[in-house]
Amino acid sequence: MVCNDCGRSYVPVGKNGLCEDCDRKRKRRWWEKTKSILATIGALGAVLLPALAILGLIVVFVFFTWDYHTGQDTGYISAVDKMTLSEDKKIYLRRRPLDSFMTTEEDEHIYCTTADREDVIEKAYKAMESGKRVVVVYNEARPFGPRKWGHCNQAPITDIKVVEEE
């Protein structure tokens, strides 16, 4: 018989047509390739695992949020704006009157309300037109959970009250 790898004749050949020496070399080459592949996967895992963990944390912080803040704030509504991807509204509240020259960006705070609160949105538009001082009430905390991007993800405004000044 003749070995299919080295071509030596008159040696015992196994089922795969290789002599013992060539069969041993083939197994050793296979084991070396397997070890090399496993080492590469291990090295990639050592790099990819922390990267995937960081990516997972980013996804959690972006799409899963919470807001336990409730309360109220006083000021003047300067704008009502549609949110990016929904019919929810952003309501801009300034601390000082709208005609004040002392207003800065830090003086303005952004709140939001959901689109189904039409009475709150209507009150916001009326308060903005009148320029009167208002109290915005946000008393619905948002517990930890999935959120949609471009929607009202903070505690939504549930009521707007006009402050009657003397």
Domain 68-162 sits in CATH at: 2.40.50
Q: What's the whole-number mean pLDDT along residues 68-89?
A: 88
Q: Give the type of residue at 17.
A: G
Give the pair of three-digit tokens for residue 145. Answer: 């959970």
* Strand spans (E) along the chain: 64-67, 71-82, 89-94, 108-113, 133-138, 142-146, 159-162
Q: Which helix (H) or strand (E) holds 79?
A: strand 71-82
Give the pair of three-digit tokens for residue 43. Answer: 């090295």
Q: Is the pTM of this model over 0.85?
A: no
Cα–Cα distance measured from residue 77 to residue 99, given in angstroms and rounded to the nearest whole number:
12
pLDDT in tens, 139-158: 887 777 777 777 787 888 99
Q: What's the whole-number mean pLDDT along residues 116-138?
A: 92
Confidence class for position 11, pLDDT limits 50, 70, 90: low
Find all residues with CB under 8 Å of 48, minimum gap 6, and list them.
none
Sign of CA dihedral 144, 150, 154, 156: negative
Pair 150, 85: CB distance under 8 Å: yes
